[in-house]
Structure 1
Amino acid sequence: YQYKDDHSRQLQLCITSWVLTGLATSIVITKLVTTVFVNKTPGWDDLMIFFAMIASLVTTSLIQASINLGFGRPWMAVAAEVGGAQKFVQMVKLDTYGYPFTVIAYSLPNVAILILIERLAGRTKTFSRNFLRITVAIQIILAITSVISKYAKCRVVEALWQLSSEGGCDNKIFNYTFYAANCFTIFTDIVLAIVPIHAFWKLQMELQKKLEVTFLLGLTFLSAIFTTMKVYYIYKFFDAQDFGPGGVDLSEQNSVIPV
Structure 2
Amino acid sequence: MAEVQLFNWTSQVFGIIGVAAGKISVSALLLGIIRQTELRWQRVYLWTITLASAIALSCSILTFSQCSPPKRLWDQRVDGNCINPLVMSGFGTFTGSFNTFADASLALIPITIFWSLQNKTAERIQLSIVFALNILTSICSGIKTQYLAELANREDLTWATFDIFA
Common fold, TM-score beyond 0.5? Answer: yes
- In structure 1, list runs of 5 or more residues that go unmatched: 1-87, 253-259
Q: Quote the residue 1:151 is aligned against.
A: 64
* Pairwise CA distance, 1:205: 1.4
The separation in 1 between residues aligned to 2:76 and 2:135, in whole angstroms, is 39
TM-score, normalised with respect to structure 1: 0.58
Aligned residue pairs, count: 164
Structure 2 unaligned runs (5+)?
none
- Name which of 220, 227, 232 aligns with 2:134: 220
The amino acid that maps onto 2:99 is: T
Alpha-carbon separation, structure 1, partners of 2:88 and 2:160:
17
Shift of 1:189: 1.0
Assess if the C-alpha contact under 8 Å between 1:121 and 1:200 holds in 2.
no
Stretches (4+) displaced over 3 A: 236-246
Deviates more, 1:238-247 or 1:149-158: 238-247
Spell out, residue by residue over 1:122-178, the C-alpha distance to the aligned partner (whole angstroms, 9 max, x if none): 4112351012211x2222111111111011111112201112433111123322221
Cα deviations across residues 89-130 of structure 1 (Å, max 9, x unaligned)? 111111233233212221111111111112222411235101
1:141 — aligned with what? Answer: 54
Q: What RMSD, in angstroms, separates the aligned Cα atoms of the two structures?
A: 2.0
SS at match of 2:81: coil
Map 1:64-75 onto structure 2 (within 5 A): none
Secondary structure at the aligned position of 1:173 is classed as: helix
| Pair 1:106-2:106 in alignment | no
- For 1:187, the equivalent position in structure 2 comes to 101
Counterpart in the other structure of 2:163: 249
Q: Deviations over 1:229-256 (max 9, x none)?
A: 001122355468654444221112xxxx
Structure 2 length-normalised TM: 0.87
The one-letter code of the counterpart of 1:126 is: L
> Would you say the 8 A contact 1:189–1:221 is kept in 2?
yes
- Would the aligned equivalents of 1:145 and 1:177 in 2 still touch at CA under 8 Å? no
The answer to whether the 8 Å contact 1:143/1:181 transfers is yes
Comparing 94-103 with 137-146, which one deviates more in the overlay?
94-103
**Partner residue of 1:198?**
112
Q: Which has the larger radius of gyration?
A: 1
Supply the distance in 2 between the matched residues of 1:108 and 1:158 (Cα, whole angstroms): 27
Structure-2 change in CA distance of 1:168 and 1:89 (3 Å) = same
Change beyond 3 A, Cα 1:244–1:151: closer
Distance 2:19 2:129 in 1: 20
Counting only pairs closer than 5 Å after superposition, residues 14-53 of structure 1 correspond to structure 2 as none
- Alpha carbons 1:154, 1:168 under 8 Å: kept: yes
CA contact (8 A) 1:107 1:143 kept: yes
Deviations, residues 164-204 of structure 1 (Å, cap 9, x unaligned): 43311112332222111111001111122212212321322
Q: Does 1:130 align with 2:19?
A: no
